[in-house]
Chain A
């Protein structure tokens, strides 16, 4: 990878990578740090990483950094706490995007990142498995669990509105 190709990666991928990091950890400064760390790592290994693999390489680094961040925080959300505080909806009905973001924030850190990789980045189960170090079966199970939690949350909110 040349410097020019690297810079093109910055242009093409930095926004998505930042969105992934920010949506994962909900902290602007940490998310920026994650992006910077990912691109620094890419640049340090630019001789080993092809342009084609750059995006998945960056997301792999970012995923690991986010997981490290969560391990440090110890703020994993328990799945059994996913449906909560639904009894007092706002007077104006929330839109789907707002409700989904709230539901997303209630997933475990890992499940949230898997959903982000799937929905925002469009990676397949196999690709997510490669990227995260999980196997495809695990990715499928975790994603289905997360998807069901998101769906249940949406249904619960809809019934309350």
Chain B
């Protein structure tokens, strides 16, 4: 047993405060403090430095419970983002090879194009592809609005496919097959989300069944996927600006759905882009 003296009394007091002394050591310490009461204040100070119990409740216990034997759990957000990014790359490459035959023609259209599906729509949604480029090639004089819109539709589809391969700053997500998860916090990197057509009836079905359905009508646009992106944002409660941004994005996208129907566009909000196909 350590002999108590001036040089080690503080250590012994700390051990006492940490509840690391044996009964015999505590007796020795108390006897020493009786003999040298000037150290009692030091004991009090160390005892005050011990944290007092504090209740905190983890409110998401339900998410942790296992109800039906062993099953896969929802992955943590960062892991989900990584997996989603990997899947996105695979889909992007697959999409590229499926469209490879059209790439040369459509890439030329992509290079210098500003697309406006219609004047009112473009005012409202800023439907922009490559906003820094001029649109001389894409908008030849005398082209009617309807014809231009059709050309725009085709071109944007192709742009979204082919440009993914060329742009390292774009993540392509095809959310029909999985919940879209994109690292939208990685500003200023834009995020491109390829949205498959799903309409309100299917959204309702999804709400009721919890199962993400396949698209049924080619012109029956989006919303379920935008909803999914929005729901995903709920998991990022700490990123307030992101939630705000996605809230705005959802609002605009749903608005877009009402207007654009069969038109393929890239919806650009801030530095982010959503391809609505």
Contacts and interface: CB of A to CB of B under 8 A. Distances in A.
B101 interface: no
Contact of A11 (B49, B54, B60, B61): B61
B45 A154 contact: yes
Chain A interface, >50% SS class: helix
B60 A32 contact: yes
A43 B74 CA distance: 12
Nearest to A124: B20
Contacts of A96: 48, 52
A43 B72 CA distance: 9
Contacts of A39: 64
A18 B238 CA distance: 16
B46 A147 contact: yes
Contacts, number: 96
Contacts of A29: 236-238
A107 to B, nearest CB: 11
Given A3-B66, A120-B53, A147-B49, A125 B58 contact: no
Contacts of B75: 40
A10 interface: yes
Given A22-B56, A154-B45, A27 B73 contact: no
Nearest to A104: B51
A100 interface: yes
Interface in B5-43: 11, 14, 17-20
A33 B77 contact: yes
Given A119-B51, A150-B49, A154-B49, A10 B61 contact: yes
A154 B20 contact: no
Contact of B49 (A120, A124, A151): A151
Given A100-B51, A119-B50, A154-B48, A40 B73 contact: yes
B49 A32 contact: no
Interface string B231-257: 000001110000000000000000000
B56 A19 contact: yes
Contacts of B48: 96, 100, 151, 154
B237 to A, nearest CB: 6
B60 to A, nearest CB: 6
Contacts of B19: 122
Interface in B185-202: none
B55 A15 contact: yes
Contacts of A144: 11, 14
B46 A97 contact: no
Contacts of B17: 147
Nearest to B54: A19
Contacts of A40: 73, 75-76
A151 B18 contact: no
A155 interface: yes
B270 interface: no
Interface in A5-63: 6-7, 10-11, 14-15, 17-19, 22, 27-30, 32-33, 35-37, 39-40, 43, 46
Contacts of A120: 51, 53-54
A76 interface: no
A147 to B, nearest CB: 5
A154 B47 CA distance: 11
Interface in A94-148: 96-97, 100, 103-104, 115-116, 118-120, 122, 124-125, 143-144, 147-148
Interface of B: 11, 14, 17-20, 45-46, 48-58, 60-61, 63-67, 69-70, 73-78, 236-238
Given A10-B65, A11-B61, 9 more contacts: A15-B56, A15-B57, A18-B58, A19-B54, A27-B238, A33-B77, A104-B51, A143-B14, A151-B45
19 contacts: A3-B66, A3-B70, A32-B58, A33-B76, A36-B73, A39-B64, A46-B70, A96-B52, A100-B49, A100-B51, A104-B51, A115-B51, A124-B20, A125-B18, A125-B20, A147-B17, A147-B49, A148-B14, A155-B45
